[in-house]
Amino acid sequence: MTALGTVAVGAMAASGAFAQEVTLRMHQFLPAQANVPTLVLDVWADQIEEASDGRISIERYPSMQLGGSPPELLDQAIDGVADIVWTVVGYTPGRFPSTEVFELPFMVADARAASCAYWTMYEESMQEEFSSVHLLGTWVHGPGLFHTADPVETPADLEGMQIRGGSRLVNQLLEATGATPVGMPVPAVTEGLSRGVIDGTTIPWEVTASLRVAELVENHTEFEGNALYNLTFVLAMNNEAYEAMPADLQAIMDEHSGLEFSIFAGGTQADADGPARDIAVELGNNIITIDEATAQAEWMPVVEPIYATWIADLAENGMDGQALIDRANELMTGECAQ
């Protein structure tokens, strides 16, 4: 037995040899019935269990059932409180600055291409940042947008609103428009909207269904072309738990993780936007679509300073932010283009 996961050794009846069996605890913040658990995490875990002939068992703990809060998930993976965690990187602002390149406003046009670029750049230049965990996947969600009580068509419409922001850069975007960003994990959005603590939230369509957002606010502002914003995710494993596994089980984990899994995860999450958007349409909600020309003319001037500030912040830590932007764009429009 280990504190990192239950490792049992059982006899193999056919050969008389011994096969190590590993039980891993996977922890995340969404309800079990939400899109990411059902369409991504459970699919991934089921495939690994099947490929290992049951020698790897992955216990699933949704809604922070192992305790703590969403911002603590990465530390739980580092410390062995959980063996595997799925989390928003932006819940720990400043710790993994390179990943924010995919969170810059109007940076990402396609979740699959961005998820591919994210994993590629992780392998190229982010491994030191994530050395405290063993990464299994890196991806972004589909286009982020506004869901508000009052309609938002221009940046000025957000002035004075209390809006839940999902990351440091999203909060900067909100501040630039005159809104007040409210720090709030995704599961708290439903209560925040229903009690009037916030006037709106920034999330992609796909998560609105499980949070009943379309029932709580009537206005949704989406953008054509590049997304207003995206958030970055990681599926991360405790280093010691991975290293304790026998080589053949490590190989199974590796085979079902990495680049292809990251593209699958980001693409699947983005694909779930459509059905959730349909709910808002069926409810008769007001869906405002900002075309690319309007976004460039009215929104980009507001958010452009965020780029300069971000590049300067990274420079203080000896990192070249512009090089990260250039590399991400090169990959998303080149070898990672879908």
If one counts every other C-beta atom within 10 angstroms of the C-beta of residue 233, the result is 26
Q: What is the average pLDDT score of the chain? A: 93
Give pTM, 2 decimals. Answer: 0.93
* Tens digits of residue pLDDT in 115-145: 999 999 999 999 999 999 999 999 999 999 9
pLDDT digit string (tens) for 284-310? Answer: 999 999 999 999 999 999 999 999 999
CA nearest to 256, candidates 34, 5, 41: 41
In tens, the pLDDT along 29-54 reads 999 999 999 999 999 999 999 999 99
Please tell me the predicted confidence (pLDDT) of residue 19.
Answer: 64
Helices (runs of H) and strands (runs of E) counted in the chain: 15, 12
- Token pair of 316, please? 């203080």
CB atoms within 10 A of CB 316: 8
DSSP string spanning 12-55? -TTTS-EEEEEEEEEE-SS-TTSHIIIIIIHHHHHHHHHHTTTS
Cα(48)–Cα(56) distance, integer angstroms: 7
Is the pLDDT assigned to residue 180 strictly greater than 80?
A: yes
